Amino acid sequence: MNVALIGSGSWGTAVAGLAAARAERVTMWAHGKQTAAGINGEHRNPRYLVDYVLPENVVATTDLAQALDGAEAIIFAVPSTHLRSVCHQAAPFIAAGTPVLCLTKGIEPESGLLMSEVIASEIGNESRVAALSGPNHAEEICRGGLSAAVIASEDPQIGETFKDLLLSTAFRIYLSQDMTGVEVCGAMKNVIAIVCGISAGSGAGDNTLALIMTRGLAEISRLVHARGGHAMTCMGLAGMGDLIATCTSEHSRNRTFGYEFAHGVSLDEYQTRTHMVVEGAVAARSVSELARSLGVDIPLTFAVEQTLYNGVTLDRALEILTDRVPSQEFYGLTD
């Protein structure tokens, strides 16, 4: 199988290595010429995971048409803020029946669409689009550390196609048909990780971390339920699994940003220095929009939105949260 991997960030680079073990060729699309040249010349991404040596059957190009030429499977791994525009440019070069896997996590502002829905709206045939999510730090995947993910798809055969492509002894893959649940979990856990980072940066302890993660999972479950997904999905790899990894790991850019934000570093400063998009910051706004449209209460996410975009101080955001009177633990969910 020839695979096109659209994106050349850290996660896309790691997944290119996974796919290369079973594919004849993996062609990565990179936005920058320097990145493509590094992958082709030295089998390394000069910007992300710089010590990781890619397999020889991984090549790169800055030409979308060339990357997609002859592709029998396509994987999108670009930031949520650029996904629609890249899909729009790629659409003329994608055959109607080619299976597509989405690695991007987020919810589109204003439309409230999940990332798989953004892809489908640009390339058509939504039933051939799957989504992968789980507790997967690219740095550990590259070292062959034992990890697992869930692939969600409406068509079980599409899920099987990508499971066969990416499965290994070290990378376990489970299947689901709950696209909504898997993708909402993937978007919201990044927001909760920012809160955990702020908490750690402010000197809070383990009790507070456990409180944030548990109440964060509750609000993720409420939005999944309201959006038509299954709350049980939040107990799995895409929910609790990814939440643990993202909220506690030194590899998590969302947690790390939250930690630095608590010490006065702005979002723009952090993203400029790291050359990485803080997906949780983007999701804080779009997830809040979606929750309000559905009448769902997600106080931690609302607090992140207020501090990042509406000038509310961290002290004031904490005051608003702690002034709330606790109610039923699982309010907003039905059995």
Helix (H, G, I), strand (E, B) or coil at 102: strand
Residue type, position 220, single letter: I
**DSSP class of residue 241?**
I
Cα separations in angstroms, 32 against 39, 40, 57, 64, 320: 11, 13, 20, 12, 44
Of 195, 186, 180, the residue nearest 321 (C-alpha): 195
- C-alpha span between 310 and 303 (Å, rounded): 10
- C-alpha span between 53 and 222 (Å, rounded): 42
By residue count, the chain amounts to: 335
- C-alpha span between 244 and 135 (Å, rounded): 8
Cα separations in angstroms, 326 against 291, 321, 329, 330: 20, 10, 8, 11
**Is 105 a known active-site residue?**
no
Choose, from 33, 105, 163, 189, the residue flagged as catalytic. 189
Residue 248 CA, chain-centre distance (Å), reads 16
- C-alpha span between 7 and 30 (Å, rounded): 6
Helix or strand (DSSP H, E) at 120: helix 115-123
Active site residues: 189
